[in-house]
């Protein structure tokens, strides 16, 4: 059967999609034919359908790397409701889920394993992936791998090595809603995409009405944010620049808040409240991959850090195609805070110090003791140094053969 006809049949009969949206058919058909694909489609365009259809067409295990636990749960539940095997392996998964995932990979049957990128730091996960007959490797929110991108995550730097370690290289799908040309180039390079089919569609979301309200006084800006939320019909999202702002606005509006400083259980509780139809206030740590269709508004309490971030965040509303509003309450002083946070990338002196300390094989604990760095911060720096060719990460941290000098290694991740 012709690839496109097979893709349409799988979409309709297996996954329940009566019609495919623009870009879905081309991207799914390329992957089903064994070709890598970089798909850049607007928020709400159904990027998850692309890897779902392709995985069924290829007929083997699919690994999906996704950055949010709530999204993993949502996608896995939807696939199981269709009678397909889907397992989420993340920080909240127990041993039974890991055993189930290993059994699926060992058996080579059709199914989906959702992994958080941090799972790829685990030696046991990398070991069983290196022996697995994976047919499709999908990277959701692929812009997170790019240091040019607005939401760079060092955990994503492991993905290229994982792909190359498979016994037979799978088709690779890189999916995102926002990627300017430099970001596309970096995604392709870091993932090692081979002659990828690039499917890029119009970013226009005509159902979203965009508005900017400008202010000189902070008090006026705060009052306008509260008024903007209260005047909207339905529920939505309020984005703030800081955790303190998120908590303050949530208290004034009588709603839940979300930020990266919350305990994991509290973050999941806030996500469930939002999924249930409520308004919440959040920092930019919230929302990537959220797929609630009936969000009627997004209000920014200050200017976002970049146009890419703005597009990602307003893309949470209007996914049902009905009218929605995106309102940005702007004050010139907001840009100072944006510049402050933009300077928060890992310090090159810290990178150089870790590179110098890793002059012989060491465990991560030994290296943490040697550098006096917290394990979480050290993990991110190690990912960057591995990408720079300075170290090799396995059961121990080892200096790479022919590695650059520490200062050169520290500069490479940002070039």
In angstroms, the first-to-last Cα distance of the chain is: 46
Q: Evaluate whether 3-200 and 208-341 have a shared fold.
A: yes
Tens of pLDDT, residue by residue over 199-241, are 988 677 888 999 999 998 889 999 999 999 999 989 999 999 8
Average pLDDT of the residues in 47-70: 89
Q: Please report the pLDDT score of residue 38 as a whole number.
A: 96
Q: Please report the pLDDT score of residue 412 as a whole number.
A: 56
Q: How confident is the model at residue 151 (pLDDT cuts 50, 70, 90)?
A: low
The beta strand positions in 182-310, using DSSP E, are: 197-200, 208-215, 236-239, 256-258, 280-282, 297-300
Instruction: Check residues 26 and 384 and name the one with the higher pLDDT.
Output: 26
DSSP state of 11: I
The DSSP bridge pattern shows strands 391-393 and 397-399 to be antiparallel
pLDDT at 15 over 60: yes
Was domain 3-200 assigned CATH 3.20.20.70?
Answer: no
Q: What is the mean pLDDT of the chain?
A: 84
Q: Give the Cα separation of 198 and 346 in Å (integer).
A: 31
Q: How confident is the model at residue 32 (pLDDT cuts 50, 70, 90)?
A: very high
Q: Please report the pLDDT score of residue 326 as a whole number.
A: 94
Q: Give the Cα separation of 298 and 286 in Å (integer).
A: 12
Tens of pLDDT, residue by residue over 181-197, are 888 888 999 999 999 99
Tens of pLDDT, residue by residue over 103-143, are 888 888 889 999 888 888 778 888 888 888 999 999 988 88
The beta strand positions in 270-344, using DSSP E, are: 280-282, 297-300, 324-331
Tens of pLDDT, residue by residue over 299-346, are 999 888 777 778 878 888 888 889 999 999 988 877 765 655 555 556
Average pLDDT of the residues in 41-50: 81
Domain boundaries, the chain: 3-200, 208-341, 357-414
Average pLDDT of the residues in 48-72: 88
Report the sign of the C-alpha dihedral through residues 114, 119, 124, 128, in that order: positive
Q: Give the Cα separation of 39 and 31 in Å (integer).
A: 11
Q: Please report the pLDDT score of residue 415 as a whole number.
A: 43
SS3 label, residue 265: helix
pLDDT at 282 over 70: yes
Residues in the chain: 415
Q: Please report the pLDDT score of residue 62 as a whole number.
A: 93
Q: Can you name the CATH fold of 208-341? A: Rossmann fold (3.40.50)
Q: At what angle do helices 364-371 and 375-387 cross, to 10 degrees?
A: 100
Instruction: Check residues 204 and 271 and name the one with the higher pLDDT.
Output: 271
Mark out the alpha helices in 123-200 (DSSP H runs): 123-129, 159-165, 181-191
Report the sign of the C-alpha dihedral through residues 321, 150, 34, 118, in that order: negative
Which residues have a Cβ under 8 Å from the Cβ of 396 and sit 6 or more positions away?
A: 361, 362, 363
């Amino acid at each position: 059967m012709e690839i496109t006809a097979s893709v349409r049949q799988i979409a309709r009969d297996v996954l329940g999609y009566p019609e495919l949206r623009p870009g879905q058919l081309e991207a799914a058909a390329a992957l089903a034919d064994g070709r890598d694909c970089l798909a850049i489609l607007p928020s709400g365009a159904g990027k998850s359908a692309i890897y779902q259809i392709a995985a069924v067409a290829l007929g083997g295990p699919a690994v999906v790397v996704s950055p949010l636990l709530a999204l993993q749960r949502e996608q896995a539940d939807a696939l199981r409701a269709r009678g397909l095997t889907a397992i989420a392996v993340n920080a909240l998964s127990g041993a039974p889920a890991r055993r189930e995932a290993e059994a699926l990979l060992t058996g080579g049957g059709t199914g989906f394993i959702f992994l958080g990128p941090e799972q790829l730091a685990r030696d046991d996960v990398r070991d069983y992936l290196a022996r697995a007959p994976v047919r499709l490797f999908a990277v959701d929110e692929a812009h997170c791998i790019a240091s040019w991108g607005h939401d760079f995550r060092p955990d994503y730097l492991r993905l290229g090595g994982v792909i190359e370690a498979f016994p037979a290289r799978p088709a690779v799908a890189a999916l995102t809603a926002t990627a300017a040309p430099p970001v596309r180039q970096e995604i392709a390079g870091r993932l090692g995409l081979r002659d990828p089919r690039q499917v890029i569609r119009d970013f226009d979301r005509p159902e979203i009405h965009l508005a900017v309200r400008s202010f000189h006084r902070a008090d006026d800006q705060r009052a306008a944010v509260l008024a903007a939320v209260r005047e909207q019909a339905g529920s939505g999202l309020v984005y703030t620049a800081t955790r303190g702002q998120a908590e303050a606005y949530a208290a004034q509006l009588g709603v839940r808040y979300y930020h990266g400083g919350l305990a994991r259980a509290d973050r999941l509780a806030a996500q469930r409240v939002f999924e249930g139809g409520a308004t919440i206030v959040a920092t930019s740590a919230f929302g990537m991959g959220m797929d609630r269709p009936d969000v009627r508004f997004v209000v920014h309490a200050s200017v976002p850090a970049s146009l890419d971030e703005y597009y990602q965040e307003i893309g949470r509303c209007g996914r049902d195609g009905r009218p929605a509003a995106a309102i940005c309450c702007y004050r010139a002083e907001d840009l100072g805070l944006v510049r402050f946070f933009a300077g928060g990338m890992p310090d090159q002196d810290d990178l150089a110090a870790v590179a110098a300390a890793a002059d012989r094989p060491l465990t991560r604990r030994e290296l943490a003791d040697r550098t006096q760095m917290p394990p979480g911060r050290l993990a991110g720096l190690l990912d960057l140094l591995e990408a720079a060719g300075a170290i090799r990460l396995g059961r121990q941290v080892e200096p790479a053969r022919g590695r650059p000098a520490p200062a050169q290694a520290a500069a490479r991740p940002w070039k």
